Amino acid sequence: MTLILSNEDVEKLLTMPDCIDALEEAYLELAEGRGITRQRSDCITPTSYSEDAVYGLKSMDGVVPKLGVSAIRINSDIITNPRVGNSHRRVKVPAAPNDRYVGLVLLFSTHNGEPLAIFPDGVLQHIRVGATNGLGIKYMARENAETVGILGSGWQAETQLTAVCAVRKIRTIRCFSPNRENREAFCVRMSEMLGITVTPVEQPEDAIGGADIVMCGTNSIDPIFYQKWVEPGMHLSSIKKPEIEPAAIRAAQKVVVHTHDTAPMLVVAKGAKFQEATKDTGWNAAQGLDFKKFPTLPELIAGRVTGRDAEEDVTCFLNNLGLGYQFAAAGSVIYQRAVEQGVGHALPTDWFTETVHP
């Protein structure tokens, strides 16, 4: 039988500590060459939805033989790049029927090739990004780090905070985002969720000043953190390449990236107004830095490099590009728990397999 799961099921089955542990183990396999992952692929075309939007078909996959699973994540998106305040944003539009997004994870067995589960990517997407940055903090931030400044108050920022609180004993969190209403609501919600007071502030400097850990969790495709804000001993954490300006990255004594792939395999059709492909931002940001020279998170976890040599070191983790491998590793946990707990809808596997040789 093939399990069909919902986002609500995934949320019940996978906690942030679970995801951190699953990725940590899987990254050791990746570092040793026993796990494999493929570079993300984005196909961008015009769309009849709007002249200011593009259509994106995204796929990313990976295989974790130790866990006996492979996964592919597929997104069918309507994407816009509006300007908000001083920066451009990457905004997906819920344009599918009933104002919904389209993102699926397909989990397969490496033992016999069968489809094990199909579920939406939304909740897992949030958790795996947070967990990845959480691992960066675990291996690079000072052990006594207890103060967090976060830039952003959207859905990505939420799991950034749950992740940092899973790997460090955090006592103080300050949050800035341009929209006062959003950041205040976010702070109320996260204070209740974490049991720690999350304080909204009026300026980014108010969030960042004196912070042990600075986290960027936005949909900006322009820099939001600058060199002038760097302080000794800080750990800088970014969920995408353009959030931290190159000068601030250069100011760090230790820099680790998620992967040496600096951008998706990007194919843009004629007539598609795709800002990230044409500006010196988004995937084209930080072109003055040689990302191939930075060690990767799997190498850090495997102990091939150190994350911090001194208390006063500035360290930086750039979650520069996601991996389909993450969906296989975390998907294995989700599937095993779903089977154990009887969660989801089981459909005949014959519906998803065939007798005709493909």
Indicate whether 273 and 130 sit together in one domain: yes
Kindly state whether residues 181 and 292 are assigned to the same domain. yes
82 is in which domain, residue-wise? 2-124+323-352
Contacts (Cβ under 8 Å, ≥6 apart) of 270 = none
Q: How far apart are CA 101 and CA 181, in angstroms?
A: 24
Indicate whether 14 and 94 sit together in one domain.
yes
What pLDDT shows up at residue 165?
Answer: 98
Ordered strands of the 172-176 beta sheet: 198-200, 172-176, 147-151, 213-216, 235-238, 315-318, 254-257
Asked if 299 and 196 sit in the same domain, the reply is yes
Closest C-alpha to 63, from 75, 71, 54, 52: 71
Query: Does residue 305 lie in a domain region?
Result: yes
Cα gap 234→228, rounded to integer Å: 13
DSSP track, 254-312 = EEEES-S--S-EEEE-TT---HHHHSSSGGGTTTTS-GGGSPBHHHHHTTSS-S-SSTT
**99 φ, ψ (degrees, to nearest 5):** 55, 60
Query: Residue 91's pLDDT is what?
Result: 86
What phi-psi label fits residue 310: left (phi over 0), alpha (psi between -120 and 50 degrees) or beta? beta
Res 288: pLDDT: 74
Contact 217, 239 (CB under 8 A): yes
pLDDT of residue 150: 98
For residue 43, being part of any structural domain is answered with: yes
Cβ neighbours around 143 below 10 Å, total? 9
pLDDT of the residue at 202: 96
User: Is there a single domain that holds both residue 84 and residue 187?
Assistant: no
Residues 170 and 234 in one domain: yes
148 and 98 housed in the same domain: no
Domain membership flag for residue 212: yes
Asked if the structure places residue 63 within a domain, the reply is: yes
- Domain tally, the chain: 2
357 is a domain residue = no
Look at residue 81 in the predicted model and tell me its pLDDT: 80
> From CA 168, how far away is CA 143, in angstroms rounded?
7
Going from the C-alpha of 295 to that of each of 241, 256, 260, the distances in angstroms are 15, 5, 8
Q: Are residues 182 and 95 in the same domain?
A: no
Shared domain check, 228 and 179: yes
Q: Is the residue at 358 inside a domain? A: no
Claim to verify: residue 108 and residue 135 sit in the same structural domain: no
**Cα 307 from Cα 297, distance rounded (Å):** 10
User: Coil, strand or helix: which one is 189?
Assistant: helix
Do 202 and 339 fall into the same domain? no
CATH number at residue 40: 3.30.1780.10
Query: Of 298, 328, 337, 325, nearest to 39 (Cα)?
Result: 325
Query: Are 155 and 292 contained in the same domain?
Result: yes
Q: Dihedral of the CA atoms 239, 241, 244, 248 (nearest 10)? A: 130
List the pLDDT tens digit at each of the 358 positions of the chain.
999 999 999 999 999 999 999 999 999 999 999 999 999 999 999 999 998 899 999 999 999 999 999 999 999 999 998 876 666 777 899 999 999 999 999 999 999 999 999 999 999 999 999 999 999 999 999 999 999 999 999 989 999 999 999 999 999 999 999 999 999 999 999 999 999 999 999 999 999 999 999 999 998 878 999 999 999 999 999 998 889 999 999 999 999 999 999 889 999 999 998 766 556 556 566 667 888 899 999 999 999 999 999 999 999 999 999 999 999 999 999 999 999 999 999 999 999 999 999 9
Select from 92, 108, 14 the least CA-distant residue to 53: 92
